[in-house]
Chains A and B, each alone.
Chain A
Amino acid sequence: QVQLQESGPGLVKTSETLSLTCAVSGDSMTNFHWNWIRQSPGKGLEYLGYIYYSGPTNYNPSLESRITISVDTSKNQFSLKLYSVTTADTAVYYCARSKRYSGYDSGLDAWGQGTLVIVSS
């Protein structure tokens, strides 16, 4: 059974870069999409973007100018970088897995527990 675990600093200063990693265990990363989602305090879920195991990405247009998602299949992990953060980026950040191909979508079928990142000056 696949397991995902987020890690990274819990506190980031405004205008700096938020960096998180998601470690994947229990299954191969091959043929899956790897996603980031966040939930700000008191708000709903916001989709950030995904990376396919081979490298193609898709980002939320509202964040496209300051987000990068990368993958390292040799280490079974993928990462999120969010640049020039503000207090509005304070949130619980989740990583998740999905599988999509023509006519089929699995939904986000495995999630990490989430990690709280606070952005403060």
Chain B
Amino acid sequence: DQQVKQNSPSLSVQEGRISILNCDYTNSMFDYFLWYKKYPAEGPTFLISISSIKDKNEDGRFTVFLNKSAKHLSLHIVPSQPGDSAVYFCAASHGGAQKLVFGQGTRLTINP
């Protein structure tokens, strides 16, 4: 029972363009969503989060959009940089940043 799904295992984007990573969830009790970036041999690094009372949260080059009716969220990175190449995980929870349920991850490659 995969409650959080990232249907694209990989994504390739040109440097300077926008990267859009998608995530779907099935559990309507989730009210908090986070995005993490992971490099090989390192733990996940927190990027940005959004509460279900909002539909958008922005932090520098990173913006997360939440569509509760569609149970869908997306992470936009603009402009994309080579250092953004990593695996990105979407995570969801009920009641804050505890007991996170993760998606399978999307490997983002930024091409020069």
Binding between chains A and B = no
Q: Which residues of B are interface residues toward A (Cβ below 8 A)?
A: none
